[in-house]
Amino acid sequence: MIKIKVFEGDLEKNIEVETGASLLEIARKAGDTDAVAAKVNGRLRELSFKLFSDATVSLLSITSNIGVDLYKRSISMLMLKSARDVIGGNDDDYRIEIMYSLGSGFFCRITGCKRDIRITDELLEKIKVRMNELVARDIKFEKKTYSTRDMREVFNARNLPGKAELLKYRRSSRINIYELDGYQDYYYGFMVPSTGCLKAFDLVKFADGFVLVIPLKGTMELPKEYKPQKSLYSILNGAEDWGRQIGISQVGELNDAIVEGRTNDLILIQEALMEKQIADIAEEVVKNDKRIVLIAGPSSSGKTTFSNRLSVQLRTMGKKPHPIAMDNFFKERENTPRDAEGKYDFECIEAMDLKLFNDTMTDLLNGKEADMPTFDFVVGKKIFNGNMLRLDADDVLVVEGIHALNPESTESLPKESCFKIYISALTQLNIDEHNRISTTDTRLLRRIVRDARTRGHSPQRSISLWDNVRAGENKNIFPFQDEADAMFNSAIIYELSAIKIFAEPLLFSVPEDSEEYYEAKRLLKFLDYFLGIDVQSVPNNSLLREFIGGGCFDI
């Protein structure tokens, strides 16, 4: 017998089990029927894992952050297996690609067709019925180990070149493959124990594909009505088309370009595209005679570099931009709202002195001179040092802040004078046909590298704060992205190969006994898919320089 200390949230139980008992058996003996994975002495394990010595086990539910990741991968494989059962045909007749996140779901397409396969409501309903049948059967996700070389041949034969190319750069000669009722696939990360865990999903026809709708984070509930974000889709679809045009839409193709010595060309092409997109936005501002440009986006989107590069483009068109940080319009510390824990809530819109901001912007638009404040974060007060500003005919205010797109921020300003821009790193690259690259992971890696370089923050600190950062974004930024007049995608197709050399040493430094260890190891495994590149060829005005350093802007 072995002794197991079991944690379910804050609840602790001590139990004894037979040597060699699985984590699933341990969870059931502890009375937990909802666990989908567990941490054993701090290391993440699937419930099929067996224990042969005393251990501390933390059970994880499907609504935990890790459980959500397991759900996403597992529901994707269930959908692919069910679609194969419904559509039938040979392995190389077609493929279903999981393209990118679109709200509370994943946009998918059927590609590589050798016969006429049309996405209809009737087809999606049949696939849903098959998914529910497999859920009712509660089939296990089985993990098996195969030769990497053999699986490359299998994926090539199945018309999945992205998976085959990815495995070409895998160092290990063996690979773990998941099997579901005879259907095999490769996934980046663990699965839930069985299909019985996957009870909430939907399939919704959209554009030239469909959306696999998943539960809202932290729940097992689907959104009441799935509404695809059309502007976001347009940006993502455009980025995907561009990636295909240059022959790089998946990690294996990026690695091929690096091996073949095409890195410098790739950098030049990406930076030229980004410069053109910024110039196009500047032209819109000038053409429509906008006097105030308002920029917002989630953390580590590159807002500061974008603002600087937009200002440069405005100058080339005869305008004189004036950068304005909304942070300088915070309320005095004693008037700052507090959150549920009694801490100052600097991210809520109520922390902003919106009356002063609107009054100041109105005065400037009316040709008056305004005293521009600087917020002293040490004493918690706005300081007025006689920084006077008056707008001439060709002057433009470039305002950056997390609430810049919120209509409350500009409620007394004339709409015809404002131009709002939403910026985010909307990754156009995927690991392979069925494994997405999360935009969130890209931004987290940017933040880890930047904060270590500029603020002296450890990677543990950056990781530990990330959930709170994302919660603030969900409340204060994402709901207002459709207010934007323009959207700018700051993702850089080569950036993960560049940032890898900065991020890996930081992630390796995270202690094994820390709460952030699992996330650090997950990111390290993710970066292992990429070949690294020399960053000397990255231009000093590149948006990437905001994070890795060596840029020409004062940030």
From CA 82, how far away is CA 76, in angstroms rounded? Answer: 10
- Buried b / exposed e along 1-37 (16+ C-beta atoms within 10 A): ebebebbbeeeebebebeeebbbbebbeebebeebbb
139 C-beta neighbours (distance < 10 Å), count? 18
Per-residue pLDDT of the chain (555 residues; tens, 9 = 90+): 899 999 887 788 999 999 999 999 999 998 888 899 999 998 899 999 999 999 999 999 988 889 999 999 999 999 999 999 999 977 778 899 999 999 899 999 998 887 888 999 999 999 999 999 999 999 999 999 999 999 999 999 998 999 999 999 998 999 999 999 999 999 989 999 999 999 999 999 999 999 999 998 777 889 888 988 888 899 999 999 999 899 999 999 999 999 999 999 999 999 999 999 999 999 999 999 999 999 999 999 999 999 999 999 999 999 999 999 999 999 999 999 998 888 888 889 999 999 999 999 999 999 999 999 999 988 999 999 999 999 999 999 999 999 999 999 999 999 999 999 999 999 889 999 999 999 999 999 999 999 999 989 999 999 999 998 998 999 999 999 989 999 999 999 999 999 999 999 999 999 998 989 989 999 999 999 999 999 999 999 999 999 999 999 987
**pTM of the entire predicted model:** 0.91
347 C-beta neighbours (distance < 10 Å), count? 18
From CA 459, how far away is CA 451, in angstroms rounded? Answer: 8
Sign of CA dihedral 283, 284, 285, 287: positive
DSSP conformation class of 332: P
Identity (one letter) of the amino acid at 195? T
